[in-house]
Structure 1
Amino acid sequence: MCALRPQGEAAVPPPGAVTTVVPRQFLHRLLKPVWRSRWVSGELKSNGIDVFHGLSAELPFGIHRTGVRSTVTMHDLIFERYPRQYNPIDVNTYRKKAKYACQAADQVIAISLQTKADLIEFYGVPEEKIPVCYQACDPSFQVPPDPQKVREMLVRYNLPSEYFLYVGSVIERKNLARIAEAMFRLKDRLNVPLIVLGDGGAYKKKVEAYLAEKGLTSRVIFLNDVTKFAFRDLPALYQGALALLYPSTFEGFGIPILEALWSHTPVVTASGSCFAETGGNAALYVDPFSIDSIADGMLRVAGEPALRQDMVEKGILHAQHFTPEKCADAVMNVYQNILK
C-alpha cells in the first residue's frame, strides 16, 4: 500500500511525495494482516493522507468512512473465472476484498483492458471509473543482450545451449501439461529441451508423471529442482532461449511476455485473454486448448530463423509501450484526477 501526503505538515515529505504507512503499535505489528485490512483506516487521517493506493486488489475496510480519497489496482479476476482452481475459502476472501475495494475506491486501476472488462462483467464497476495503467517489468530486462553473459549463465547452471523457456507457477492454468503433450507429438521432429522456471504441487506431479510415462523426463529441466536460480541471471536465461512458451489459458497481463520482449526473445503465447495487449504484433499466437496448435507454434518458431528475427524486432518496438516511466505517468494521472 502507499499513500500521497499533502503539503503543509511539519516533518513530512515534500508535496506529492509517496510515503509508506507501517504498523507502529505492538498489536498491529503482531497482526499485520488485520492491521492492513482493517485497522489502518483509523490512522489515515492522522497521517494526513490525501490519496490512499491499495496496490493489489485490496483497500482497508472502513476507508469509505474516513473521507480519504482512494484508488486500488486490480491485477485480475482469475479466481472468479476459474474458482475451481482455488481453495473455496480463498475465493470467498478474495471476492469480499475485491468487491469492497471496487465499491469504496474513487477510481479502480486495471492493468489491462481484459481486467477492465472483467471488472465490468463480474462486479458491475462503471466503465468510466476504471482507468487502464499498463505495467512495466524490472529494468534489468531492458539491458541489451550480452552473449558472453548468456554463455557464462549456461555454464554456471549446466544448461543446454538451445532450449525453450517456461516461466511461471506450475499450475493448471499455465498449461505446462499441454506443452509436454506437444513435445511428445514432436519427439521425432524437434529435439529442443524445455527449461521450466517455476514450481508447483499436485499439477506439477501430474506433469512429471506424464513426462516419465512418455520418456521425456530428460527433455524437461525443472530448474528449481536442480539449483537455486538467482534473479540476476533471469535476463540472460530469457536471452539464451529459442523462445518463451507461454500458452496460458488466462492472465491479467502476462509479465513474462514483456520480460521476453525486452530480452529480444520470441514469444509463443495464447490467443484470447490479455495476450494480444502484452504481445502485440510481436508474438506467435496459438490455441491454448489445442495440442496441435501449440506443437505447430513450437515447430514454426524453432524452424524459421527469419520469423524469429522478425518477432524480436517487433518485440523491441512493442515493449516501448510498457516502460516504468509510462506506468508512473499513468498512475500519477489517476492520483491527479482523484484530487481534482
Structure 2
Amino acid sequence: MKSWIGKIVLGAGVLAATAAAQAQGYPSRPVRIIVPYAPGGTVDLVARVVAGRLSEQTGQSFVVENRAGASGAIGSEAVARAPADGYTLLVQSPTLIANALMSDTVPYDTAKDFTPISLLGSVPMLLAAHPSVPAANLKEFIDQARANPAKFTFGTSAVGSPMHVAEEAIKHDAKLDILVVPYKGTAPALNDLLGGQVSAIIDAIPSTYPHVASGKLKALAVTTSARLPSMPNVPTVAESGIPGFDMVTWYGLWGPAKLPDAVLKVLSKELAVAMKSPLVTERLGNQGFIADGGSPASFAAFIDKERAMYTRVIKAANIQIK
C-alpha cells in the first residue's frame, strides 16, 4: 500500500516539476488569445493590438481567435476549460462578470475558473443614434421615446455587456419602455444601426466615434461623469436627466484557473511594457483608451470593485437573462 502511495506522490511531483520547467521557457509556441465576439468590435481591436505587441516583444506568435456566441459565454468557457499552461488566454470586458449576475446558467464560475492576469485599459462609452432619429441629444431622445416607445429601439453588442447594462440602467432611471436588441458583437450591432434597423446604441468610443465623425451617426451623450475634451459639445448622461450616471467599459486578460506563477510573471512583465508602447498608444490612445497593464493582484482587486457596482445596477434595473 505504501509503495503505491509513494509512486502516486512521486508521479505528482514529476508532473509538477515538468509543468514548472515548461513554464520557465514560456512562451515556446504560439499563444491563442480568444475573443468571445465577432471580429470588428472594440474587444477584438484591443486584443489584436495587444497580441501584435506581445508577438514583437516575445518573438513568439500571439494569435487572436474569434469564438462568438451566447453573449461571450462560448469563447469564455473555452478558456475556462483549457489547460492552465498559458497558451490559451481570454480578452474580455465586464460582460464576464455581468452575465453571472444576471443568470444562474452561465457555464463557468467567474471567480474560480479564471486567473486574472491584467487590466488592459478602459474607455468611455458613447450613446449614438441613427440620423433618422429626430433627437439632437439624449434628453430629447428620452422625451420622444416616452411619447412613442414602439418607434425606438436600443441595439447592444451582447446581453450582459457593459453597453447593455448601461442601456438598461438608462431605461430604468428614465422610465423608458423600449426594446433592447442583442447581437453577437459590436460589428453586427453597428451595421444594423448604420442601416437604421435600430434607433440607437451605447458602445465604446473606438467603435462608434469614427461613424459620428463621418456623419453616419450622431452623438447623443457620453457615459462618463464629465464631458470629454474630444467631444466638448456632447452632454453626459448625467446632464440629460439621470444624475450620478457614470459608466465606462474596460478590457482585461484572463487565463484558466491555476496558471503557473512563472507564466503569470512573464505575462505581467510583458504587458506592463506593451501597454505603454507607441503601438498601443497610437492605435488606441487617440480614441479615448486609457491603458493600464497592471499586476494580477491589482486586476483582481479591480474586478471585485466592479462586481459590486454591477451588482447594484443589475439589481436596481432587475436585468435578467432568461
TM-score, length basis structure 1: 0.26
Name the one with the larger strand percent. Answer: 2
- The higher radius of gyration belongs to 1
User: Taking CA–CA contacts closer than 8 Å with sequence separation of 6 or more, which of the two structures ends up with the larger relative contact order?
Assistant: 2
